[in-house]
Structures are given as C-alpha cells and as structure tokens.
Amino acid sequence: MSERDPSISVKDLTKVYEPSPTWMKLMVKSNIKNAVVALDGITFEVGPGEICAVVGPNGAGKTTTFRILLGLTTPSTGTATVGGYDAQHESVAVRRMVGWMPGQDVSLLGRLTCVENLRFHGRLQGLKGEDLKGRIYDSLAKVGLSHAAEHSVFALSSGMRARLQLARALLHSPSVLILDEPTGAIDPVAAHELLGLIISIVEEERLACMISSHRLEEIEALHSHVVLLDKGRIRYDGDLDELRDLVDREQLEIEFKTDESARQARKLIDAAGLGESITVEGSQLTTVLTSSETTTGDVLAVLETVAPEVVHLQEVQRPLRDLLADMYREKQAK
C-alpha cells in the first residue's frame, strides 16, 4: 500500500439485523420483530495521517461501522478494508493493524500496574520478551505515563486511565487507530490534553484515525475530516470547515440603547422574515439569519427606524451543534 492509498476504505457498506428464526428465539434474547437497517450503503475513505471524526445521534450506525472495521460483525453487503485487508475475510490480519480504544476502561485490570496491564495485553497480541518490554515503556512514554509505570490502575485518575488505554492501543505499533468516544469518561481539561496527544501521535506516526464523540466542541477542535451518520446513511463526508461554508448562517448580536428599541427591532426583523430564533434579553437582541443569502446589510436596512439606537453589532460563529442540528432537520424534511 502506497502512502497515498487509503488506510481505511468502506464501499457501499450495508448491515441489516434480521429477527431471529422461531426455533432460535428460546436461546437468543432479542426484541427485534422486523429487520433493522443499521447501515444503508455508506462509502468513505481515511488516509494515513488523517483523523476522521464520526458523528451522529444514537442509532446512527457509528458502533456498527466500528465493529465491521474490527472484524467483529459481518456486513450484509459491501466491503470494508483496512490496510488493504478485507475486514470480513481477513479479520485477524486487520486486528494486527488496528489500535482499538473503547469508550469504557472495563478491560483494564484494576489491581495490576500500568506495566502489568500492558504486558498482559501485549502477550495476547503475540508480543514477548525484550520486544514487548521495549514497546511497553515506549507506549507509556508516548502518552506521558512513564512516571506512573508501576502505579496500579486503581490509583490512576480517569484521565490517566484513558491515556493507559491509548498506550495499549499503540502497543503493537498499529497503522490505524479506532477510538470510540475516548474522552467520554473524563473531565474537559483531561479530554483537551488527550485530544492534543492523539493529534500529535497521528501526525508524527502517519496513522489513519477514526474517532467518535458526543462532545461536538471536541470534534470542532480536531479541524478534521468528518463523516455525519444518520439512520445508517451518510449525511455529509468531507472537511469540517467546508461543512460550515455549506450550511452556516450568520448569527447577529445587536446591543441597543434601550430595552424598548430591542423589542421594536425584533418585530421588524420578524416581520421581514430575515431572522430565526430571535431572542431579546434586556437591550440585547440575538438572531440567526434565515438563509446564507441573507446579509447583515439586509437586517440593517429593515432596522432603519431604530438604527440610531444601535450601540454595538457583531457577527458570531454559531456552535457546531447548531449547524449539525440544522443539517439533520433539512435532510429529514426532504
């Protein structure tokens, strides 16, 4: 595989969970009565040195996608390859190439030290001897846990446990990282530090990385490739900044001299159909423009009668969560 080839390639991937046959229902607990489409023909690629953020509401298909890439679930149709290996038919080779970090730390052994945990998992991966020993201390150094090598997991903070999980994912020198909500159980400061660490490692080692998170501010901080999933389909696949250009609408904050002027401005903007989610708090008005074609100048034109009352006006970048909510609403309306 050349440097420019994708490390992860998913093509027309579908996964349908069928209800269990009647004869099996006594042995398998399942509430599925009708077929459930978890993935519906998704296609995307992730290259070396690239972070791909997978975003979507619960049930969007994120976990199913990860399970297929790890060879833990078979697709109904389509293909998923990692490093040129077919995830369905060459799953053992795939797992040798992938560093996997689950969202929970249940697989860490609390009474064992960091070194002992990594030694245990390294042996499961077929590593041994001096090679394993060197990789253990190298992995701990990469994630900033060299000082805690002999500390038991019980003695670690949640942030340090997350770093230990990342060290375990890096232990066998993978070319691909798949991280399922790696910051879900840690505080914002530790999460920020962990994400910075992940970005640095991905860039330095030219790893292909897929990461899911419910914290959209973290996804935004990655400045990465993003795949938006919804009900098993891809709603958007591309650069996060390009997504902003595609769906972003300006948000205005206008400060007036008096509360009455702000209330009057709200009526004018609403009557002209130029703003949505218009709020007034005291003398400050906030609104989202109705479309990308609507400009600040259009709003000022309808506010001509109260223009002398304007103290301050600024355009504010909307939070990513608002942009995604708009996008999902627009897709569902079609």
* Model confidence pLDDT, tens digit, residues 205-246: 999 999 998 777 778 778 788 898 988 999 889 887 777 766
- Assign domain 8-245 to its CATH superfamily: P-loop containing nucleotide triphosphate hydrolases (3.40.50.300)
Q: How far is CA 69 from CA 39, 85, 90, in A?
A: 13, 10, 11
Task: Please name which of 128, 205, 198, 190 lies closest in space to residue 159, comparing C-alpha atoms.
Answer: 190
For 60-84, how does the pLDDT look when each residue is reduced to its tens digit (9 = 90+)? 899 999 999 999 999 999 999 999 9
pLDDT bracket for residue 2 (50, 70, 90): very low
Would you list the domain boundaries of the chain? Answer: 8-245, 249-316
Mean pLDDT of 152-170: 94
Contact 163, 195 (CB under 8 A): no
3 state DSSP class of 32: coil
Write down the pLDDT at residue 80: 95
3 state DSSP class of 231: coil
pLDDT bracket for residue 112 (50, 70, 90): very high
Write down the pLDDT at residue 3: 47
Write down the pLDDT at residue 171: 95
Write down the pLDDT at residue 331: 56
pLDDT over 60 (residue 306): yes
End-to-end CA distance of the chain: 40
pLDDT bracket for residue 285 (50, 70, 90): very high
The whole-angstrom separation of Cα 188 and Cα 163 is: 14
The whole-angstrom separation of Cα 214 and Cα 159 is: 17
Instruction: Assign domain 249-316 one CATH number from 3.30.70.100, 3.40.50.2300, 3.40.605.10, 3.40.50.10470.
Output: 3.30.70.100
pLDDT over 90 (residue 262): yes
Mean pLDDT of 28-36: 71
The whole-angstrom separation of Cα 330 and Cα 328 is: 5
pLDDT over 50 (residue 313): yes
pLDDT bracket for residue 34 (50, 70, 90): confident
pLDDT over 60 (residue 22): yes
Write down the pLDDT at residue 250: 79
The whole-angstrom separation of Cα 64 and Cα 327 is: 22
